[in-house]
Chains A and B, each alone.
Chain A
């Protein structure tokens, strides 16, 4: 959501503004002299340039001022704003793309760097002893709470785990690695990763509430969890989700996304400076990759405690920032109570959407390890190397007993060493890099730990069903040698690292290919965002810490705070890194599938079919093969797919690029996004001061805009037809009353109010006498009817105008727009007073007697109080303004009082009218009564293509006024066509035949072959008590010239004959108006 700087109120959310189109389009002075084409050019043509564009905006939900903005239509950035009437600034500062990591060179710490796997994992931080019941649990490793065992069920079998486990780690501890079968090929699949990037272990939660397709690697274990494996696809719940979901807005100087080494360093630099900082991380504990590698644990603990207690720092664990939008508006979802299982309190939301507006953002989102495309690389037991390391260090879980490690880079060596220390037998490290390029120090450490290092080799085949039992290793590329066979239940793979650049890319950031890393890294972005740590390609721990601290410092200093040197840890000396080898595709001698996207079952063969079919971009191959489109969105496979496609096409991967990253980063449920915006709170319900009375009287309600209006008041089991006929009869024969409070009301004040209204309405308002009322029609410049209502003249310089119920806000905006942007010289002001007044329509031949009995001091006779006059008086002791207006053709009054006293007035009328059988009526009866008189409802009988003349209201279009909005359009050739559609009445030949609204009308009694020439359509249709028959209003081509003609209305299989009539079907002489 854009942050638009209102020239008066400052930056506000885009949602508070209305767009007003191109700015500086002058309203033509000499309209009469313009040709139709020139006038049409003003009406319908606007510029549409690429780049800076001056346009009008209104701060509609704020100060209601119109202003101008220059927006770049290609970047959607607001470049400058200026007040209405001011000149467009000649120059403005365009926003520049900034590097994702400015001044990187200054940050590198001196001394040796690189610590992956440096610290011995030691005894870990797991509590208590035990673990005996878990065959694959290390006795001491991990951060799990061994004193809090939890029971859960998977595929019908009960297991135990510990607090601190994920479902995946608990399954692995129990020796379960297979979690389902694949979606297309039905192959067994196992836990592949330890985080959100998981493609395989996507399971169904059954209880407490069914949820499909959740990665077992991210589900915190809780007591009573029931889950089942899936065949690649889940099942939606059929019951409504009973949990509470909500949302909250938050603002900060700095948002740090990710609490790994770089994110923690950034937050440490920004904390305690007075800056408002939010640190969000998707895991339950801060630390990120440091928890997986068991490094710097003390620093993490100390800093976590410090951050959570620092004022103005908000730490949000279990919170995934999933969308990065305009002007640093970010959305995050916090999982608040799910990990509590059945103990979750019901009054606390289960998940919460955070709508964060950050002045600055540091993205420290880490990196995902990627796989390699080798034969049968999908068996349960094949796992990413760093993920296996995470299971050992975080959860004290051994994902297998013996392992082969297959890598292209250094990081898997540290993983292998950690696993070996935890007791897993590492048969070999298979490194694709030839012996000349081996990481000497790492290889030495590995060999020292008894691990064979096979350089220049690759895994070319695997065996085992369902679980891996053996791998075949062969010389790779230039290397010669013999093929080897290893019995193993675990194959750890590392094909390199992909920076998590999703949010950066969503923010509009550009990525570039990094040759060293063999992946795409953040390059530059136009928003105030920096990327730090492995998200930025800095896989070295020291460099990640330095980048994070520098980014945090820069961000808050840019916001005017003074940073202190952050508390950063000391790092031990590490082996110098050896360049990784860029490998995606591993040659195979068999036709065994080499999977690229495990979740979509997309193989190298599938991609080959795509490229041989001529698809030469990743966007195309993605759509052709569905690679990267599953709910993991290709986190482990995206770059692998790009690499494979590049190789197949024989092009450089840097030329091929990536597919587009779009929110959300990880799946978010609709229930979470809906939050509290459901049920009764989904949309505002507007009610009048009399609403409770209507409810108590059993009214059924109709939605008119956001208003609830009584539709009709059924009595004693009446159906709608009977109730409405009864209400109509009361209004025509006795007396009836209706709540008309929803009508829009606008107070127009100032010496130029008369000329202002003369320009807005098609008819003359300036010559209306004080004390009198006039009906008026408002049109758009194209001459089409926009609204209608009445104007009552309160004083020479003051009017009260009414609008239709649904259009009140639009009419006030319309008035402000013309006043502020075209006629600022007019001394006039408008104020909404819709709710200042409650309005009761009192209708029927007996209405005068009812009113007279309650307003003894009011002369109610026709001569004293004529039609279209108003009087201030008291009614039932209540100050009231009574208007003689009729929307039914009957003698009628509109009584306006304070809404605070509306109920007293209503009840007084009900009581005083009782002897005459006073009847409350709703909108349906109102519609019937007005339709019998041919009064149109704007928006029902019109649709934005209808002129006042089309409605038969030429009398309401002034011939005297020099100009008013719409005037020139009535001289357009199109406005005077004889075949324009006119509003007419329709009488079905069968007085009981009912024409549904929308019914088309044709000339012939036999349906011709298509295309059938249509003459028009029914806009309103009712049963009339007064006419004793059905009738309709319709817009018909040349309708007024067809009065008396027979037309046909196709309804279902029938052609119903109808006769065109005048729209005024009841009391055409107007005899009933004065009682």
Chain B
């Protein structure tokens, strides 16, 4: 659902780190899998959860905005992450941000709904594999045990010394999404690759 034909090459924040992430994945024998998921559509939505617009926006997106703090609602390729009592991050496939933004605006009616395209504000790191939880636990103070942070949960918290939005993906064994501010992405990648050293086979 590309908005415009792309005439110039796009470069994601971690374009230069792709090789390092792939090498770590290989070297760990699948214990950790690391990759950037670049260019995901991300739209920040602010509205009154009790107002009529909440339902209308949910209808327009085909999912109901989660009201339980720190949870994710998914419908197809679209996810809505709870960020605050009146704030959500809608995440979709690349190049859908304008469509998502338009649908939300159209559904808002006369209510005050703030919609901001933040697709480039953060990039997404996939952290999965059998040791994904252990890897993140090196820098994340949150309890990531499946009982405490199971599939469908998300949280704004810190990993190492940077803020992230952490998502426990609901597909089995799918690991975590770590959404990180683009300017911090290089640092966080360096940090993750360093922390993963122990999960590498010494070869």
Contacts and interface: CB of A to CB of B under 8 A. Distances in A.
9 contacts: A61-B157, A251-B145, A687-B183, A747-B114, A828-B114, A835-B121, A836-B118, A836-B120, A836-B121
B197 interface: yes
A347 B200 contact: yes
B137 to A, nearest CB: 5
A61 B114 CA distance: 21
B86 to A, nearest CB: 8
A250 B137 contact: yes
Interface stretch (B8-16, B55-63, B169-177): B8-16
B114 A877 contact: no
Given A9-B155, A63-B83, A248-B137, A834 B183 contact: yes
B195 interface: yes
B85 A65 contact: yes
Nearest to A251: B143
A247 interface: yes
A875 to B, nearest CB: 10
A347 B202 contact: yes
A793 to B, nearest CB: 16
A8 B121 CA distance: 24
Interface in A46-67: 61-65
Contacts of B118: 831-833, 836
Contact of A13 (B10, B138, B141): B141
Top 9 A-B pairs, shortest CB-CB distance: A829-B114, A686-B183, A829-B46, A749-B114, A251-B143, A827-B112, A900-B10, A904-B8, A835-B182
A12 B157 contact: yes
B198 to A, nearest CB: 6
A878 B187 CA distance: 28
Given A249-B137, A357-B143, A8 B46 contact: no
Nearest to A346: B202
A675 B156 CA distance: 24
B182 A899 contact: yes
Given A63-B84, A685-B187, A750 B112 contact: yes
Contacts of B70: 9-10
Nearest to B84: A63
A1042 B62 CA distance: 68
A248 B8 CA distance: 43
Contacts of A355: 141
B69 interface: yes
Nearest to B136: A249
A680 to B, nearest CB: 7
Best-buried of B114, B119, B148 by chain A (most CB within 10 Å):
B114
B156 A61 contact: yes
B73 interface: no
Interface stretch (B18-26, B29-37, B159-167): B159-167
A708 to B, nearest CB: 10
A310 to B, nearest CB: 15
A707 interface: yes
A654 interface: no
Contacts of A246: 138, 195, 198
Given A685-B187, A749-B114, A248 B138 contact: yes
A623 B46 CA distance: 59
Given A827-B112, A901-B8, A684 B187 contact: yes
Nearest to A905: B8
Contacts of B155: 9, 62
Contact of A685 (B4, B114, B182, B186): B186
B190 interface: yes
A797 to B, nearest CB: 8
Contacts of B99: none
B39 to A, nearest CB: 7
B119 A10 contact: no
Nearest to A691: B186
Nearest to A312: B145
A683 B160 CA distance: 9
A835 B187 contact: no
Interface residues on A, range: 35 or more
B125 to A, nearest CB: 15
Contact of A684 (B114, B148, B161): B161
A898 interface: yes
A320 interface: no
Contacts of B184: 684, 686
A676 interface: yes
Given A10-B69, A750-B114, A835-B120, A61 B158 contact: yes
A86 to B, nearest CB: 13
A347 B194 CA distance: 10
Interface string A873-912: 0001111000000000000000000111111100000000
Interface in A247-281: 247-251, 276
B91 interface: no
A985 to B, nearest CB: 35
B44 interface: yes
Interface in B118-135: 118-122, 134
A302 interface: no
Given A9-B70, A248-B138, A684-B162, A831 B114 contact: yes
A688 interface: yes
A689 interface: yes
Contacts of B188: 684
A432 interface: no
Contacts of A276: 145
Contacts of B122: 835
Given A683-B161, A686-B183, A8 B198 contact: no
A348 interface: yes
A8 B69 contact: yes
A832 B83 CA distance: 14
B157 A62 contact: yes
A692 B183 contact: no
A834 B121 contact: yes
Contacts of A683: 161
A742 B181 CA distance: 12
A689 B12 CA distance: 8
B192 to A, nearest CB: 10
B84 A900 contact: no
Interface string A832-866: 11111100000000000000000000000000000
Interface string B34-76: 0000010000101000000000000000000000011000000
Nearest to A83: B85
A340 interface: no
A455 interface: no
Interface string A717-753: 0000000000000000000000000100001011100
Nearest to A742: B183
Given A61-B158, A749-B114, A899-B13, A835 B194 contact: no
A9 B115 CA distance: 23
A345 interface: yes
Nearest to A683: B161
A676 B198 CA distance: 13
A347 to B, nearest CB: 5
B166 to A, nearest CB: 11
Given A249-B140, A900-B11, A901-B8, A833 B84 contact: no
